[in-house]
């Protein structure tokens, strides 16, 4: 998930050339913490509203059906890691203690079948038992039926989520029925597995229908998979940058990164990078610097 930065307006940018140039399509009163897109010009964006109101009313989910030319608010349920397969079917992460559709001290998964207007909680294999229990950390719905789930849990047995420079349990699951059932693909616990080390706190995943995907981390690295999450390859040195967001198609994968020292608060440098399934490195597409 993307950490919510200091309160500030959040412009949504659109691109038609892979990020080399962008244009502002919407300015929101609060920071934009998650974006999802689907074919046919469909787009969704969640804008966090900084206030003392209950968590269930701290933000707005916007939808555009015309490539960002116009936007409409459709929900106020707090959502993160938005992922839509088409104009109707999507999955998202409900933050801890989201008021609707039911309080939960852990992050959980929600599904929508009406383009994000309404959401229902979905059972996941991420367990909540004990200090090592895993919780939902990210989700990627590549088609109406095929998707992937990222679970994360505390490794140091402190009874809280992993913090800076800690290790974390990481589990990847896949679904072939739109999230009704999940199958374990890979689990990283007491030792590394298939290219994923213990070190690093995973924040999100993005997959294409072919099984090509990326995972981004804080205090770890950024990773590429070519086989649906079974094996992973690091894309840059450990702790070089922190991942903020990612996307994946069958031919192109992108990651938005920030220097580790800027993970708290509002980053003053962002780097948009890209790679392909045939490469194991990142190329800079564009860099933003803020005052």
The answer to whether residue 81 sits within a structural domain is no
3-class secondary structure, 37? strand
The answer on pLDDT for 166 being more than 70 is no
Range of the domain at 198: 123-289
Mean pLDDT, rounded, of the chain: 83
Q: Which residues in 213-223 are b (16+ Cβ under 10 Å) and which e? A: bbbbbbbbbbb
Tokens of 155: 């490794």
The answer to whether residue 90 sits within a structural domain is no
CA distance 254 to 207: 11
Provide the percentage of residues in the chain whose pLDDT is more than 90: 49
CA distance 177 to 157: 34
Q: Which residues pair with 149 in a beta bridge?
A: 139, 173
Radius of gyration of the chain (CA): 17
- Higher-pLDDT residue of 130, 163: 163
Q: Which long-range contacts (CB under 8 A, 24 or more apart) does 261-265 make?
A: 263/3, 263/218, 265/5, 265/6
Tokens of 139: 């989700």
The answer to whether residue 3 sits within a structural domain is no
- Higher-pLDDT residue of 265, 180: 180
3-class secondary structure, 132? coil
* DSSP conformation letters of 152-163: EEESS-SSS---
The answer to whether residue 19 sits within a structural domain is no
Query: DSSP label at 167?
Result: B
CA distance 103 to 123: 14
Average pLDDT over residues 180-193: 90
Average pLDDT over residues 179-201: 90
CA distance 133 to 147: 22
Pick from 234, 184, 230, 235: nearest CA to 207: 230
CA distance 145 to 165: 36
Angle at 207 between CA 202 and CA 209, to 5 degrees: 160
- Higher-pLDDT residue of 20, 167: 20
The answer to whether residue 150 sits within a structural domain is yes
**What pLDDT was estimated at residue 16?**
87
For the stretch 38-65, pLDDT in tens is 999 999 999 887 665 555 557 899 999 9
The answer to whether residue 28 sits within a structural domain is no
CA distance 74 to 77: 9
The answer to whether residue 216 sits within a structural domain is yes
CATH code of the domain covering residue 142: 2.130.10.10
CB 168 within 8 A of CB 189: no
Q: Which residues in 65-100 are b (16+ Cβ under 10 Å) and which e? A: beebeebeebbbbbbbbbbbbebebbbbbbbeebeb
CA distance 107 to 100: 12
Angle at 68 between CA 65 and CA 70, to 5 degrees: 75
The answer to whether residue 92 sits within a structural domain is no
- How many structural domains does the chain have? 1
Provide the percentage of residues in the chain whose pLDDT is more than 70: 80
């Amino acid at each position: 998930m993307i950490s919510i930065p200091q309160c500030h307006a959040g412009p949504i940018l659109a691109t038609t050339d892979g990020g080399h140039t962008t244009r502002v399509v919407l300015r929101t009163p609060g920071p934009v913490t998650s974006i999802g897109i689907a074919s046919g010009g469909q787009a969704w964006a969640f804008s966090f509203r900084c206030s003392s109101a209950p968590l269930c009313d701290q933000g707005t989910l916007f939808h555009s059906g015309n490539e960002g030319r116009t936007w409409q608010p459709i929900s106020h349920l707090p959502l993160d890691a938005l992922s839509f397969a088409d104009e109707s079917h999507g999955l998202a992460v409900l933050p801890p203690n989201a008021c609707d559709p039911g309080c939960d001290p852990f992050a959980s998964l929600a599904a929508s079948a009406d383009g994000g207007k309404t959401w229902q909680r979905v059972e996941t294999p991420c367990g909540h038992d004990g200090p090592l229990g895993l919780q939902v950390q990210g989700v990627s719905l590549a088609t109406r039926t095929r998707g992937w789930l990222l679970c994360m849990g505390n490794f140091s047995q402190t009874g809280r989520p992993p913090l800076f420079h800690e290790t974390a349990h990481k589990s990847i699951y896949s679904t072939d029925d739109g999230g009704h059932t999940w199958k374990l693909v890979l689990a990283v616990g007491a030792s590394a597995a298939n290219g994923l080390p213990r070190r690093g706190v995973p924040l999100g995943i993005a997959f294409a229908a072919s099984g090509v995907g990326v995972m981004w981390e804080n205090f770890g690295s950024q990773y590429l998979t070519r086989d649906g999450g079974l094996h992973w390859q690091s894309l840059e040195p450990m702790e070089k940058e922190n991942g903020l967001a990612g996307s994946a198609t069958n031919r192109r994968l992108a990651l938005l990164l920030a220097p580790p020292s800027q993970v708290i608060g509002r980053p003053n440098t962002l780097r948009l990078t890209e790679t392909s399934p045939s490469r194991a490195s990142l190329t800079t597409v564009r860099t933003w610097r803020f005052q």
